Amino acid sequence: MLVRRVVRSTSFPKLFGCSYSSFSKIGSFASYTSSPASSLSPKHEEYSYRTENDLAEINWDELRFGLVPTDCMYVMKSTQDGEFIHGELKDFDNIKLNPSSGVLNYGQGIYEGLKASRKRKEGGLLLFRVEENAMRMKMGAERMFMPSPSVDQFIHAVKLTVLANKRWVPPHGKGSLYVRPLLIGSGPILGLAPSPEYMFLVYASPVGNYFKEGLAPINLLVADKTHRAIPGGTGGVKTICNYAPVLKAQMQAKSKGFSDVLFLDAVNNKYLEEASSCNIFIVKGNVISTPATNGTILPGITRKSIIEIASDLGYQVEERLVPVEELSDADEVFCTGTAVVVAPVASISYNDKRYTFKTGKETVSKRLYNALTAIQMGLVQDNKGWTSEI
């Protein structure tokens, strides 16, 4: 695939726009269109990427999980044949959609979420298992009857977006750059049918901890009258239409002082599935159990990583049906996800009963959190090949 470069002669202004904050060259800047991921290494000798000292001027100590507008986003539209060919960096801004677009009228859209972290010593940037996100988007696109970018195109777009927003990657230990790839039906369609055009875009925002409790244990409320997904539905893919239906239950739980809501299966109303945006694990002795992903539960990438790390550490990991009654006998409970990482659960309330669990430094969840984040932040050698440095 060809790479198109547009070069304009100018000098850097004091306020950075997308092109200015992406690549620096004396007296000029460059923007790129879509190309394979292998081409996105800093091999262009005329460019010098900004240093760690060129950080955005925000209070990193007060960073929370919320949108902080950055410099750039990546946009690529499909052809009428459903092929993605040309993409480019643009200033982060609103996008223009027809009122009859497929995503607005029929919910034809999926998204991904991943993070870029800054290494402690060298100041380089690390992405975690980006190829897993790329493959999961392709799987979700197939379920939602949408064309999707190739794995290489996805990875290239993510890397380009991160590099273009490098000054927004928090200092080591202060947070991460959350990257949100989106695939939406952008073309106009009035009758119920697939969109005639699709848009793939990637934007990013620096984030801190997901829950307001920070790294403190969270408290969950089991929802036994509302369900997140049904067999044969879309619960196993990251489609946008999975999330709005959980908001009412989530807000009701938060209004009562809970951190989030935990859903049960829709058939028997007795087996644990997942929280509104993260997977769930329970610990009993040396056994760690998590609900099996049988089409109603999102196969989380953090979930997959924790299962492998736990097995390496000698724990017995079971993916199975987990009855809600097992909460009464659990030693620990924790949630996993890109946003929450590994979040210890202090209590779960169900049917007027409150079950409490062990939290703190000497816990399985803390051990797993330390092992995972050490890899994500480059504190230990990545023997699994999960991270990619850019």
Beta strands in 338-381 (DSSP E): 341-350, 353-356
The kind and range of the H/E element at 109 are strand 109-111
Both ends of the chain: CA-CA distance in Å? 21
With contact defined as beta carbons under 8 Å apart, do 248 and 277 qualify?
no
Q: Catalytic: which of 166, 238, 248, 284?
A: 238
Q: How far apart are CA 141 and CA 19, in angstroms?
A: 30
b/e code 333-348 from CB counts within 10 Å (16+ = b): bbbbbbbbbbbbbbbb
Contacts of 323 (CB under 8 A, 6+ apart): 270, 271, 272
What type of residue sits at position 323?
P
Q: How far apart are CA 138 and CA 104, in angstroms?
A: 21
Asked if 361 is an active-site residue, the reply is no
Active site residues: 238
